[in-house]
């Protein structure tokens, strides 16, 4: 096993998604994931506390980038404009690998109640990061919470459209996320 080769974390994620798709989440063991990735079990546990965490790899980075983007938005912008700045910042981490893995990841999550629960916690965590960044800017709690939830919806909707789009066209995620946020902003007018 090439346990000292670079990219072990990425290889572990790829191996896990492939195995979850092939044989299901419950039937996949940490040993199988490590073997498929070409690393030892101890290398696996240096990167992830358990196999469930593989599917939310990068969540902490995403939360940090969303918060930084919101914090660094120009003074005087609306809460949704600050959320847009956060989405722009987090889009920098969305590359071809994310787009390629998305359909398989979606299928793995859909097939496992445990993964659906973890995915829901990820959503809550992202919303909390945005809410915290907005309130730090002086946005009142209810407005910060609503803007954050809209940001999460825009992220999820934009990601779904981007990952299901034409793979021959190399479009960046940011356009999809910002378009989804604009659509949600426009839709709020019809809420009454």
Residue 21 belongs to a domain with what CATH number?
1.10.10.60
Q: State residue 191's pLDDT score.
A: 83
Nearest by Cα to 102 from 175, 167, 187, 6: 167
Q: State residue 5's pLDDT score.
A: 57
Are residue 42 and residue 112 in the same domain, yes or no?
no
- For residues 134-153, give the mean pLDDT: 97
Q: How many CB atoms lie within 10 A of CB 156?
A: 15
Are residue 91 and residue 140 in the same domain, yes or no?
yes
CATH code for the domain of 166: 1.10.357.10
Tokens 């939360």: give the residue: 63
How does pLDDT run across 146-174, given as a tens digit for each residue?
A: 999 999 999 999 999 998 877 666 788 89
Are residue 183 and residue 100 in the same domain, yes or no?
yes
Span of 47-61, 113-127, 172-186 with lowest mean pLDDT: 47-61
Average pLDDT, the chain: 89
**Contact in structure between 161 and 176 (CB atoms under 8 Å):** yes
Tokens of 8: 């072990």
Is 1's pLDDT higher than 60? Answer: no
Are residue 38 and residue 91 in the same domain, yes or no?
no
Is 177's pLDDT higher than 50? Answer: yes
**DSSP letter string, 38-104:** T--HHHHHHH-SSGGGGGGTTHHHHHHHHHHHHHTSPTT--HHHHHHHHHHHHGGG--HHHHHHHHH
Are residue 67 and residue 37 in the same domain, yes or no?
no
Are residue 30 and residue 119 in the same domain, yes or no?
no
Q: State residue 109's pLDDT score.
A: 85
- For residues 101-130, give the mean pLDDT: 88
Are residue 80 and residue 158 in the same domain, yes or no?
yes
Are residue 76 and residue 117 in the same domain, yes or no?
yes
How does pLDDT run across 58-111, given as a tens digit for each residue?
A: 788 899 999 999 999 999 999 999 999 999 999 988 888 888 888 888 888 888
Does a structural domain hold residue 2? no
Nearest by Cα to 179 from 91, 99, 102, 113: 91
Q: State residue 169's pLDDT score.
A: 67
Does a structural domain hold residue 122? yes
Does a structural domain hold residue 3? no
Does a structural domain hold residue 150? yes
Domain boundary among 19, 34, 53: 53
Are residue 39 and residue 84 in the same domain, yes or no?
no
What's the structural domain count of the chain? Answer: 2
Q: State residue 3's pLDDT score.
A: 43
**Domain hosting residue 14, numbered range:** 8-53
Q: How far apart are CA 61 and CA 56, in angstroms?
A: 10
């Amino acid at each position: 096993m090439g346990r000292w080769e670079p990219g072990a974390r990425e290889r572990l994620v790829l191996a896990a998604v492939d195995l979850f798709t092939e044989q299901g989440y419950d039937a996949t063991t940490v040993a199988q994931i490590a073997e498929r990735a070409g690393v030892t079990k101890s290398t696996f546990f240096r990167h992830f506390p358990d196999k469930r965490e593989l599917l939310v790899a990068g969540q902490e980075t995403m939360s940090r980038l969303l918060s930084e983007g919101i914090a660094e938005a120009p003074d005087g912008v609306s809460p949704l404009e600050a959320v847009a700045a956060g989405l722009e910042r987090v889009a920098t981490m969305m590359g071809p690998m994310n787009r390629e893995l998305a359909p398989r990841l979606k299928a793995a999550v859909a097939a496992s109640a445990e993964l659906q629960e973890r995915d829901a916690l990820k959503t809550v965590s992202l919303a909390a990061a945005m809410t915290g960044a907005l309130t730090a800017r002086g946005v009142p709690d209810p407005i910060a919470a609503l803007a954050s939830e809209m940001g999460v919806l825009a992220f999820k909707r934009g990601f779904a459209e981007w990952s299901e789009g034409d793979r021959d066209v190399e479009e960046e995620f940011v356009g999809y996320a910002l378009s989804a946020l604009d659509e949600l902003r426009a839709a709020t007018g019809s809420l009454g």
